[in-house]
A and B are shown apart, each in its own frame.
Chain A
Amino acid sequence: MVLADIGYGTLVLTMAVGLWAAFAALVGAARRRPEMVASARNALFVTAGLSTLASAILLVLLFTHEFQVRYVYEHVSTYLAAPYVLSAYWAGLEGSQLLWLWMLAVASAVLLLRPPTWDRELRPYAMVVLGVTQAFFALLLVTLTNPFELLPTVPAEGISLNPLLQNFWMIIHPPIIFAAYALWTIPFAYAFAALVTGRLDATWLVGSRRWTLAAWASLGIGILVGAWWAYLELGWGGYWGWDPVENSSLIPWLVGTAFVHSAIIQQRRDMFRGWNVFLVSITFVLTVFATFVTRSGLIQSVHAFAQSPIGYYYLGYMLVILAAVAGLMLARRRDLEGEGQLGDLLSREFVFLLTNLLFLGSAAAVLLGTLWPTFTEAVRNVPTSLGPENYNRFMGPLGLILVVLIGVCPLVDWRHIDAERLLRSMWVQAAVAVATAAVLLLLGVGELWAIISFAVVAFVAATILLQFAQGAAARMRTTGENPFTALARAIGKNRRRYGGQIIHFSILLIVAGITGSQAYQTEVQVALAQGEEVEVGPYRLAYEDYTYRRIEDEGNKVLNQAVVGVYRGDSLVATMRPERNLHSNVQGAVSEVALRSNLKEDLYVVLSSMESDGLAAFQVLITPLVVWLWIGGVVLLVGTLIAAWPPRREGR
């Protein structure tokens, strides 16, 4: 297989050129030799080209069904639909590491395309990080997880992609997550450069702000897309199970969110210099850790370490980064002291600090929970695992306090505010919150914690909407514009502030979605023969028909489908077709959920089993407000785009 050999060769070259880039950038910067820095820049363009070539080769091999390549054999088949052949690229350990590498190489090249401006001094050192990280992933691919490895014989057919992964959202989820991981490398690279050069003022933060926002938003949206996939495909009616794989992407998001907030403090008040370097470094290390967790199998069992040395590679790389950052921070401890003075306890500075501690605390707790089975297995030889209830018990309160702070923070002044003035500025929001709780109680909605949660959401939503109203009103007074123009222009004039508020609003939508779906889910499990009916909440479900079919051109997939009419009163509102199918490449049956979604609630029907005479077991769930999680994700994206949009050039 010449093509596979070329693919492997490009990876070897990527590693070598990546190392050269790091070395040349370091020497060029330290010895003030611009030609070396230029060579490093060219080298990073070369790695972008090489990893693009490697990716293209892998895709060609996948699409041409070259089953002699083990990765191709394991992840595609002749009957796999084209979009899933594309997603097979990142379906395995080898491919997903190649995707990481490729995303990072492309992001690095995009960064380097623009001539240095604010980062003239910092950029060479940032290139060291980019080169080393690319070389690290290339090293993994070349030594332990070669995607171009050949089998001794040529199989006639491939195993094909796991049917659980044959879902649109699973095509886009991994690229978004890996893009986020790759993008986090860039703010970290600048933090490293700031440490090396001692230029620890806010320059590196301001300069890399858009990269940070892009990384932060992609990670959040990637997590939501993953949750959406789990909801659609795993067939248990939930979207988040505190599984190690899910946790490992949430942990860097939590620390990254702390960083995004404390970066604001450094820009405004020149405080938290060292803290910011620490946070972005930890975020980056955690993205590497996430790849390691999902891929090494360490969390499933410590014995995974014995099976493959890949865990040691990841662990080694994380330790090298942490040691380098710790050493540099120690050496630069004088430059890490900012000018800013701490304010009073009732000050915006302290609210930001509180936010930071809450994010870090929850990240630490989720990390501890994720590693808990590994620790206990190592110590006592028996793994002890934590269930969702353990996580909910701390994430619920911590999350709600964080949401309250979103609403309080804009009301608190920098340095100091009187308690009395603060309370007086909150009465409208407080009234809205109390009214919300009262209405819910009057409606007879149960679950105290959910009512508290909705009241908190109402409190914060009122704060945010008041901010928008005040901004628009101020413009209307001075310019005489109509309300809509005034609002749009107010947002346009201060994109960072209002973009941030829109993001905060998206978090409220997500919290409302989580609260509604967690507190008020209705579940019915029932066995029905054809023609029988069941009442679930406001709906009447009639099991009308069923299909049993063997689909030969999809590798002898056996389709079991039930046809369920959904009625409200006597009118048919939907016909749902849940499936439970057998696939040749997995043992056991795989459910395909039927879903009917609206703004109020989701009706979710799972075919649990079906006999040959059509007797079928159903699991029917009504989950209120769950759709607001996904709407929140869209709003989050919009808010981030507004916050990150470049300001108009002067003179226009």
Chain B
Amino acid sequence: MSSTAKFFVGGAVVVAVIAALIATSFSGSTSDYLKVAEVKALGPDQTRDSRVSGAIVADSVEWSTRDMHLTFEIEDDTGQLAISYHGPQPDMLVDAVEAVAIGRYDPEAEVFEAGELLMKCPSKYEAEE
């Protein structure tokens, strides 16, 4: 085999390995955004976290410093959903801001237990770059 051919075969193998690695990384845990109604239809046997986003309902935010427990409701065009979150209070938590909750829905308590909360604040990166 000529050295050029070796180079191309070697290069192709490397490219294939990189592509495979990337493909597995992407497929593993891309979690889809669900609508509020879709979340409420989830059964108790969820194996993966889901993401749901919506506007924070006015005056629904309740925060207990002692328990570090946050509850609020979000709404989208399919309904309202109660969110429960244990942890530090996120910055920029105010009515009407878009919140993204990542976690699992508890159909018994009808509450979405979020392990992670993100506030979609359009101005946050206004000047970063």
| Interface residues of A, Cβ cutoff 8 Å to B | 75, 87, 90-92, 96, 161-162, 164-165, 170, 173-174, 177-178, 226, 234-235, 243, 245, 248-249, 290-291, 294-295, 297, 300, 341-345, 349-350, 353-354, 357-358, 361-362, 364-365, 368-369, 372, 382-387, 389-391, 393-394, 397-398, 525-527, 586-591, 606, 608-611, 615-617, 619
Contacts and interface: CB of A to CB of B under 8 A. Distances in A.
A181 B20 CA distance: 31
Given A96-B129, A390-B25, A357 B92 contact: no
Interface in B24-75: 24-26, 28-33, 51, 63, 65-68
Given A162-B123, A384-B30, A397 B21 contact: yes
Contacts of B120: 300
B23 to A, nearest CB: 9
B109 interface: no
Given A343-B3, A386-B26, A357 B127 contact: no
B14 A617 contact: no
B111 interface: no
B128 A174 contact: yes
A354 B14 contact: yes
Given A87-B127, A164-B124, 9 more contacts: A174-B128, A174-B129, A342-B6, A383-B33, A385-B33, A391-B25, A527-B66, A589-B93, A610-B65
A248 to B, nearest CB: 8
A357 B91 contact: no
A615 B66 contact: yes
B103 to A, nearest CB: 13
30 contacts: A75-B127, A91-B126, A96-B127, A96-B129, A174-B129, A177-B129, A226-B128, A245-B128, A245-B129, A294-B129, A295-B129, A297-B122, A342-B3, A342-B6, A357-B15, A361-B15, A361-B18, A368-B26, A384-B31, A385-B31, A390-B29, A398-B18, A527-B67, A587-B94, A588-B97, A589-B93, A609-B88, A615-B65, A615-B66, A617-B89
Contacts of A345: 6-7, 10
Contact of A384 (B32, B66, B93): B32
B69 to A, nearest CB: 10
B87 interface: yes
A588 B31 CA distance: 28
A79 B6 CA distance: 67
B78 interface: no
Contact of B33 (A291, A344, A382, A398): A382
A290 B129 CA distance: 9
Interface string B101-119: 0000000000000000001
Contacts of A385: 30-31, 33, 51
B79 interface: no
B70 to A, nearest CB: 9
Contact of B88 (A178, A342, A368, A617): A617
Given A361-B15, A383-B33, A608-B89, A390 B128 contact: no
B7 A342 contact: yes
A173 B94 CA distance: 29
B11 A609 contact: no
* Size category, B interface: 35 or more
A384 B33 contact: yes
A341 B25 contact: no
Contact of A609 (B31, B63, B125): B63
Contacts of B3: 341-344
B125 A390 contact: no
Contacts of A386: 26, 30
Contacts of B125: 243, 245, 294
Contacts of B22: 361, 364-365, 368, 394
Contacts of B124: 162, 164
Contacts of B87: 525, 619
B48 to A, nearest CB: 12
A315 B32 CA distance: 28
A393 B24 contact: yes
Contacts of A587: 92, 94, 97
A162 B66 contact: no
B91 A353 contact: no
Contacts of B66: 527, 615
B4 A342 contact: yes
Contacts of B126: 91-92, 162, 165
Contact of A588 (B7, B25, B91): B91
Contacts of B14: 354, 357-358
B115 to A, nearest CB: 12
B19 A361 contact: yes
A9 B84 CA distance: 55
A339 B10 CA distance: 21
Nearest to A74: B126
A174 to B, nearest CB: 6
Nearest to A416: B3
Contacts of A354: 14
A518 to B, nearest CB: 16
A343 to B, nearest CB: 6
Contacts of B31: 384-385, 387
A393 B30 CA distance: 12
A587 B93 CA distance: 8
Nearest to A96: B129
Q: Which residue, of A177, A342, A590, has the highest number of chain B Cβ atoms within 10 A?
A: A342
A587 B120 CA distance: 13
B87 to A, nearest CB: 6
Contacts of B4: 342
A616 B31 CA distance: 34
B68 A591 contact: no
B21 A344 contact: no
Contacts of B68: 525-527, 608, 617
Contacts of A353: 7, 10-11
Q: Which residue, of B33, B91, B123, has the highest number of chain A Cβ atoms within 10 A?
A: B91
**What 4 A-B pairs have minimum CB-CB distances, sorted nearest first?**
A91-B127, A608-B88, A361-B18, A393-B25
Contacts of B18: 357-358, 361-362, 365, 398
A90 B92 CA distance: 23
A70 to B, nearest CB: 14
Contacts of A297: 122
A188 B98 CA distance: 41
Contacts of A383: 33
A390 B26 contact: yes
Contact of B30 (A91, A361, A372, A590): A372
A97 to B, nearest CB: 11
Contacts of A92: 126-127
A617 B30 contact: no
A588 B28 CA distance: 35
B89 A390 contact: no
Given A610-B65, A619-B88, A344 B6 contact: yes
